[in-house]
């Protein structure tokens, strides 16, 4: 029997890489999407291939509809189907709201929301044809409660939650579940903009008293993709060490 297959946007590093590894470990064929960082994508690929599954990496800027479509086409070419889509790619930029430019607004909305929308649009007909599928979107706890100096980022991540809920209702009759994971502070390159003191403050504010790891998030994503989550849709799973309760 053919392996199940997963497409992970932003699979080159951070949370996306951890997702690629957990799916490969469980026998999934994996397509690693990335934007610029080919070397990192190849490192993910090498690590995932170590589990003896089919893996490929593909460069596609998911903020552009055509490129998102090409990412899904590549997966169909490589694996013949897409059982799971993990919409993980995202960007963050800390700034006072008054300093946010129109370009920032467009870049962040098209990447964080457009990317989820366009990649899902491309995969939905395939999943419907296959009789079902699972889509997992990565939001953020800041999309749940908002963050000062991250108004734009918070707005995009709140939009991902709204999109997840609407998609789950529209796609449930096609046996496609759509869920969302909202991570807290996770140790990835995304947070290298914060200095040591800020990271320590965030750690102390986290009831479990540690910064999360990419594999903390990947575990929840894998659960939502598994048969154990077949009756879960439209849900937001918080992986934040208790930061937001
Ligand atoms: P990283 O910055 O470590 O990685 C971001 C990934 O997204 C990279 O693989 C990058 O590709 C890819 N990417 C960025 N823009 C695009 C684009 N336009 N098209 C395709 N791929 C793109 O981020 P994290 O692993 O930390 O974050 C992953 C997700 O989790 C994001 O959606 C983020 O908002 C969310 N999140 C992260 C938290 C954290 O504390 N780290 C907390 C809450 C949510 P490339 O390597 O080629 O640049």
Both tokens of 180, joined, read 């969302």
- The answer, yes or no, to whether residue 1 has pLDDT greater than 70, is no
Cβ of 40 less than 6 Å from ligand 1: yes
Average pLDDT over residues 99-109: 98
C-alpha 40 to ligand 1 mean position (Å): 12
Q: CA-to-CA distance for 123 and 236, rounded, in angstroms?
A: 21
Please name which of 55, 197, 178 lies closest in space to residue 123, comparing C-alpha atoms: 178
- pLDDT score at 83: 98
Q: On the CB side of 4, how many CA atoms lie within 13 Å of its CA? A: 19
Each residue of 131-150: pLDDT tens digit?
A: 999 999 999 999 999 999 99
Burial 49-86 (b: 16+ CB within 10 A, else e): eebebbbbbbbbbbbebebbbbbbebbbebbebbbbbb
Give the residue whose CA is nearest to atom 8 of ligand 1.
10
Each residue of 176-224: pLDDT tens digit?
999 999 999 999 999 998 999 999 999 999 999 999 999 999 999 999 9
Q: Decide: 21 in ligand 1 pocket, CB within 6 A.
A: no
pTM: 0.99
The per-residue pLDDT for 2 is 80
Shortest CA distance to 15 belongs to which of 154, 243, 181, 132?
A: 181
Q: Across residues 121-134, what is the average pLDDT?
A: 98
What pLDDT is attached to residue 86?
Answer: 99
Chain segment 165-184, per-residue pLDDT in tens: 999 999 999 999 999 999 99
Residue 181, strand partner residues: 138, 237
| Beta-bridge partner residues of 55 | 30
144 pocket-lining for ligand 1 (C-beta < 6 Å)? no
* Beta strand spans in 95-227 (E): 133-138, 176-183
Q: What is the pLDDT of residues 40-95, one digit of tens each?
A: 999 999 999 999 999 999 999 999 999 999 999 999 999 999 999 999 999 999 99
Ligand 1 atom at shortest distance from the alpha carbon of 157 = 34
């Amino acid at each position: 029997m053919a392996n199940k297959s997963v497409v992970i946007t932003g699979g080159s590093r951070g949370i996306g890489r951890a997702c690629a590894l957990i799916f490969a470990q469980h026998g999934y064929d994996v397509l690693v999407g990335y934007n610029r960082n080919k070397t990192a994508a190849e490192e993910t690929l090498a690590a995932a291939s170590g589990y003896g599954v089919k893996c490929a990496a593909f460069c596609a800027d998911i903020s552009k509809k055509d490129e998102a479509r090409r990412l899904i086409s590549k997966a169909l070419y490589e694996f013949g189907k897409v059982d799971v889509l993990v919409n993980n790619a995202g960007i963050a930029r800390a700034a006072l709201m008054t300093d946010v430019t129109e370009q920032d607004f467009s870049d962040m909305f098209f990447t964080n929301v457009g990317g989820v929308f366009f990649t899902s649009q491309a995969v939905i007909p395939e999943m419907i044809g296959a009789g079902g599928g699972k889509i997992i979107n990565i939001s953020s706890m800041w999309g749940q409660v908002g963050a000062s100096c991250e108004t734009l980022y918070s707005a995009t991540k709140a939009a991902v939650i709204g999109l997840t809920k609407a998609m789950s209702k529209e796609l449930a009759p096609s046996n496609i579940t759509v869920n969302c994971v909202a991570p807290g502070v996770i140790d990835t390159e995304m947070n290298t903009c914060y200095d040591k003191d800020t990271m320590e403050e965030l750690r102390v504010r986290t009831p479990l008293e540690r910064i999360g790891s990419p594999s903390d998030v990947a575990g929840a994503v894998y659960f939502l993709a598994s048969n154990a989550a077949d009756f879960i849709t439209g849900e937001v799973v918080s992986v934040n060490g208790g930061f937001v309760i």
